[in-house]
Structure 1
Amino acid sequence: MAEKLLYEPNAPDYKPASLDCSTQSLFDKLAPDASLSTFMDVLTQVQDVFHLVNNTDDKDNNMITVFCPVNSAFKNELDLYTREHLDDFLRNHIVRGSKIDPDALKRIHSPLKSMSGASIHVKHHFFSQKTVLNDHATVDTVHYIEAINGYAYKIDHLLRPAK
């Protein structure tokens, strides 16, 4: 019989409520979000990337910014990545060495470098107030997640290599 997902959307938080949120990792804060269950399932299958996202060491070299595709982003784009490419998939969605807050993200003019080495082009559209990555994925800069080891943003499409 196939194993179930490691993530259960209605499971209680495994950390005591008395802990200060500033000590929680991005994984701790992302795991309860049902709209990210597919991304979280992929994340738990690549150990070194999982450890980076679950890290609570707040040294600069451990800071990350993660662009997390919501479940619906996977629906029409399953052809982009296969099970053999999970590592590349995750690395395309993570910028290491920087904790980019929403205001800084809107002001970025040069491409970001993902952990895979791919460029992530950021465009902020002043009139619509939307931030778009690689001319394809819209970033939710209103409902961002901040943790001790970085920021995470929901995006509506998988990141494709920049053109």
Structure 2
Amino acid sequence: MAASKSYNIAGLKTAFAIITNPELRVRFENSRMGMVDSVNIFGLIATEAAYAHGEEWLTDLKSYLQKNRDLLISRLRQDVPEIIVHTPQSTFLAWLDCSRLGLPSLPYDYFLSTANIALSNGADFHETATKNFVRLNFGCSRSTLLQALDHLVSSVHARS
């Protein structure tokens, strides 16, 4: 488990495992092979604070992210229906299937050069199966998301 993504404390490296089975715990400990060091005091305090006092913040964050997600899906389906996007669940990352756009290059390269937005390159995740995909992080301010969507939509419509 980790508070890292939900509470944005990934750099504090405080993931942990709760393993009640003694044999499995020994196997887990042995598999670390000295690669996992100890947790720092800042990470411990931040994790404790997040879990003890962060419920209201997390509830608000999830609501904000859901609104961003819904905005993203609505905008793409309305303005660029050729991009296939499935409703993401339990994540702030959306996979955009751009294979029906007929772009002159991979979607990552196209949007970087024409829309000036850097998305995650689908080809980095699987050389062939996701090469026509990009991954968009909607865990950002609404204004940033709107600006990115404006650039993306404009770059697609400029091809028409």
Fold-level similarity (TM above 0.5): no
Counting strand residues as a fraction of each chain, which structure ranks higher? 1
TM-score, length basis structure 2: 0.27
TM-score, length basis structure 1: 0.26
Higher gyration radius (CA) = 2
- Larger RCO of the pair (alpha carbons < 8 Å, separation 6+): 1
Counting helix residues as a fraction of each chain, which structure ranks higher? 2
